[in-house]
Structure 1
């Protein structure tokens, strides 16, 4: 285009954000800054990009830009800041923005409730939900998704059931597929698998692949092979199975050392062209995002990273650490399993954080998959040994590791 106005830049940046290309959105935003000043619409889009990437330093810079360039702090910008801070691990910053917002609407409340849910702060989410009622701010269907997710992350089954029932009886809101999914997650995580299965089969709406995946994930979490096989057969018979169906059952077979079952699932995955998503962890250091996959040796500082890993392994042994080799889903020997665990992507990211940031400073990691139980235990120990706070955002929630314990209370 011979000329581009702010609308053109905003549409293109927003497009990148909408279709999961946050890095490209931030790159384009930097180019825009050399041509013209952004407006509120631009800021909302780029804050969303920062949240997707989990880049707190970049998000803070944009917040400073808003303050220093007289960009109006309306409820849309404020809500975008809350969302960005919460997704980047800055929960206290998110609450600070929320408290400073004037004329808070239900969207601002929903964003803060969702933030608390993501960080496993169910009590704070419930208090904020009650505050909405006192201020006569009527909740929406999104409000209940946040509250139910908070209950699921904290294992508050009875509270979650009460909230779900109150939607229609007290607030006149008909539960949607998302609310049913939250209830399946709540029941499944707490170990009420048969109850969750019955709940799915008796839903007033047809369950979607997300709900079935949630139930299968709970079967994997609690090692219930029988129910998982029953669910998979149900889905395959009705042509409802997808890639996640085969992957979850394959993982469950691997966790129970059923290598014949693993081989059968892998054959089916190959037949259907299904590929398992590789684990990837990222860390932002001095406004640059560094990404790692398991066993990664491509990073320029790989030598120093692996030297730090060796040092970490020494620390762990001194504190009585024993690798959870049972969670390695491959039919290999104990030594090979231990090696596999030692180079998981989040450990590489933590090692890089330890050698590239100031002693005592916090380390923030973003992972695309659920953190495994072995890495969870290791990260607790590292936080205790190094006296550093380590914040990990995995696919499901945030984990705040401090002095040998995690904010999730080992329930995730």
Structure 2
């Protein structure tokens, strides 16, 4: 092997193992390799690819692209290196453009762009590429499937997830820890705990992550007792829990109001499991105490923490203040959080809601004025519903969907039926400076209600509806969905930012405790 090729291989190894603080040394090696390419007229495509990869790993995106353009000859691996590098550096649009320009693709090409989209949180785009892959008759290999399943999980795309599971079985792929964990997580996030459990039982070589996925699935669906039983079984089978496991169990306790059990677990973490509680474990117990109405106890726990509380911990206490109407403490926390996270729109919304609930509209105006001065924009509410393998997304007040007129007609019919059943829109959280009728209209246009109406139009009576919302569901929509489940005899599973809600016959699995 000649010198340049040897240096290229050393470059790959070095760029992978050097810690970030030594990147300058790594960059120096890349520059040396680049110089050798130029001086020696090197044509070995492997060397060129290695140097391009090295540039990306050092964050030198423009240098990598410049070298790619200059290459005397390219192969599929050259293009794949560019796609992977762009995606790794957050340049997902550049990665997609590179992918679209390819004359020839292999399995790694498809995997690189799909993984890139997923790592950037672009799950819908990842699934669109996967569908394109299927149309072009490219059969996915097992190593790609966990990533695609993860996209299905985040989109709540049960039909596509089940197709992948079926594909695994048809092709006799091994249900190893990685793929098995991904399927357990997907079924849990799509509201099919029965299927999650079935897969969990079939995974022969369970990893800690497999147990964690099942425990977290039970936890976020409000099945606290089942989550704790599985935690016990995990230990009986000599599988050592880790910090993620314990956080999942604490989360289960929080959503079920199991105060004593949650506090007991936190206090025993170091002694029994050898795990020092981290800030997120304390945050979960603060959330538990706050949800249970023990706001003072939650505040004392924060004061006793061995580390400084972060914004997530204080945010959990702030949410407890919102739920239980503790305006004084909520106000103090709210302004502290606005200083800690001045760009987090959710903090402004939460403080504004606390003021609105207390009828302090001047303070609501003050918060909104501050948002405007700082250039903060609220995250628009959006909801997705998976119908027959296609994910439909709706945003609040957006009228771009071709069936919007039909959807609003259905929504008006639904609201009329609910009013006949005693439903009254909860307008207390809507801006005070608009008329009551406009407030009701604003509530009606919440994305989850639009997705619900769309689902009622396009499914047969009795079909379960699955909706995924990017924000926490509001009190009005939660009340409306409970009534819809009874009036229309529909099971509705909604996943919001915090947890899952199973609406069945007028009751929610969260027991109005979210």
* Larger deviation, residues 104-113 vs 42-51: 104-113
Match of 1:7 in 2: 108
8 Å Cα contact 1:257-1:331 kept in structure 2: no
Q: Is the 8 A contact 2:472 2:496 kept in 1?
A: yes
Distance 1:14 1:383, change over 3 A: same
1:19 equivalent to 2:116? Answer no
Instruction: Quote how far apart the aligned CAs of 1:320 are.
Output: 1.6
* CA–CA distance in structure 2, aligned partners of residues 295 and 362 of structure 1: 25
**Distance 1:269-1:127 versus aligned 2 partners, 3 A rule:** same
Larger Rg: 2
User: C-alpha distance in 2, partners of 1:334/1:235?
Assistant: 31
Instruction: Find out whether 1:29 has 2:130 as its counterpart.
Output: yes
Offset, 1:22? 0.8
Task: Give the gaps of 5 or more residues in structure 2.
Answer: 1-78, 80-102
Q: CA deviation at 1:340?
A: 2.0
Preserved contact between residue 116 and residue 122 of structure 1 (Cα < 8 Å): yes
Q: Which residue of 2 aligns with 1:283?
A: 385
2: CA distance, partners of 1:26 / 1:71: 21
Query: What displacement does 1:347 show?
Result: 1.2
Deviations 1:332-355 (A, max 9, x none): 332222222222211111111111
- Is the 2:353–2:429 Cα contact (8 Å) retained in structure 1? no
Distance (whole Å) between structure 1 residues aligned to residue 331 and residue 372 of structure 2: 19
TM-score, normalised via structure 2 length = 0.77
Asked if residue 47 in structure 1 is aligned to residue 149 in structure 2, the reply is yes
- Rounded to whole Å, the distance in 1 between the matches of 2:193 and 2:501 is 12
Alpha-carbon distance between aligned partners in 2 of 1:302 and 1:285, rounded to the nearest angstrom = 16
- Which structure has more relative contact order (CA 8 Å, sep 6+)? It is 1
TM-score by length of 1: 0.95
Once the two structures are superposed, what CA deviation does each residue of 1:189-213 show, in whole Å capped at 9, x if it has no partner?
Answer: 1122222223223321222222222
Aligned residues: 411
**Secondary structure at 1:411 match in 2:** coil
1:120-147 deviation line (CA, Å, top 9, x unaligned): 1101101101111211111111110110
Q: Secondary structure of 1:252's partner? A: helix
2:421 is matched with which residue?
Answer: 319
SS at match of 1:52: helix
Q: 1:58 to 1:236 in 2, by over 3 A?
A: closer
Q: Does 1:349 align with 2:456?
A: no
Deviation at 1:178, TM superposition (A): 1.6
Please, which of 230, 236, 245 is the counterpart of residue 134 of structure 1? 236
SS of the residue corresponding to residue 394 of structure 2 reads strand
For 1:159 and 1:127, the matched residues in 2 are separated by 13
C-alpha displacement of 1:241: 4.7
Given the superposition, is the C-alpha separation of residues 314 and 225 from structure 1 closer, same or farther in structure 2, using an over 3 Å criterion? Answer: same
Q: Deviations over 1:44-88 (max 9, x none)?
A: 000111111111111111111111123221111110001111111
Q: What's the counterpart of residue 404 of structure 2?
A: 302
1:364 and 1:150 map into 2 onto residues whose CA distance is 22
User: Which stretch of structure 1 is more off in the superposition, 97-106 or 110-119?
Assistant: 97-106
Partner of 1:77: 179
Q: C-alpha deviations, 1:366-397, integer Å up to 9, x for none?
A: 11111111111111111111111111111111
Deviation of 1:160 (Å):
0.5
Check 1:342–1:235 CA distance in 2 against 1; reply closer, same or farther (3 A cut): closer
Q: Distance in 2 between matches of 1:37 and 1:31?
A: 11
Does the CA-based 8 Å contact 1:251-1:329 persist in structure 2?
A: no
- SS of the equivalent of 1:375 reads helix
Conserved? CA contact 1:39–1:71, under 8 Å: no
Aligned to 1:263: 365
**Do structure 1's residue 378 and structure 2's residue 454 form an aligned pair?**
no
Compute the RMSD of aligned alpha carbons: 1.8
Aligned to 2:211: 109
Q: Which residue, 310, 316, 320 being the options, matches 1:218?
A: 320
CA shift, 1:107, in A, is 1.4
SS in 2 for 1:206: coil
Q: 1:123 aligned to 2:225? A: yes
CA 1:296–1:87 in 2, change beyond 3 Å: closer, same or farther?
Answer: same
Q: Is the 8 A contact 1:48 1:84 kept in 2?
A: yes
